[in-house]
Amino acid sequence: MTFTLIAIDRETGELGITSASCWPALGGLVPRFRPGVGVVATQNFSNLMMAETMLDELARLPAGDHPGHLGASISSFKPAVRQYGYATFRGHLFGWTGDECTGIKGHLADDQCVAIGNTLASEDVLSAMVERFTSTRGPLADRLLSALMAGQAMGGDARGPMAACLNVWSPNYPDGDECPIDFRVDLHDAPVQALTEIMTEYRAQPRPMVWRPDPITIDDKKCPRIKPVSE
């Protein structure tokens, strides 16, 4: 019911995730992030407690170790019906699919990203996402969106998506001046396309005011959807 790509930008150290599904509100269910640790995605049957348990385990990991499948720590969450993936700020990537996940399912990874999906329209969805991501250059958010569009072009969720999300975090978050990207679309006929429209509008705006040292200097004329302040 869901297809997801989790990725690391090896140059900037950013982590990101993008996902689409026939289930609404996946932006609050599939991704789970912890500063200084990484991002976990749980799907097929998302479980936030499972995701938090995984983040706890990843946070305890000694430097230099690769966690792989976190089977022991998540055994109480019926992992056979779950699908998950994660990326850490230490550079780890991993994907796993339980035997009892639904429909066409699987995961595919390389050294930059991991794709996971279930109830897919085609086995080509995952490979299309990974190939598009690894062959695209530019900001991590753009590469993730391009990969999600490639997966959707191969059919994506067999039941048709109605929700999508995109998240990107800097390794310095919550310190520094980088504002995380957190875009969500729900109950939409074309949620993946809607994400790209949100990105276009986001890029047209000034830096988020909460991160600006002097928000008074914003030029309303550069923001087409923001009405100028009346004198």
Q: Rounded to whole angstroms, how far apart are CA atoms 100 and 115? A: 18
139 neighbors 149 (Cβ within 8 angstroms):
no
Q: Rounded to whole angstroms, how far apart are CA atoms 158 and 118? A: 9
Q: Rounded to whole angstroms, how far apart are CA atoms 97 and 80? A: 8
pLDDT given at position 231: 41
Question: Where is average pLDDT lowest: 26-40, 118-132, 203-217?
Answer: 203-217
Domain boundaries, the chain: 2-222
The pTM score is 0.88
pLDDT given at position 225: 54
What is the mean pLDDT of the segment spanning 146-156? 97
Of 143, 125, 127, give the one whose Cα is nearest residue 135: 143
What is the mean pLDDT of the segment spanning 23-39? 94
**How large a percentage of the chain has pLDDT more than 90?**
70
| Angle of CA points 92, 94, 100, to nearest 5° | 160
CATH numeric code, 2-222: 3.60.20.10
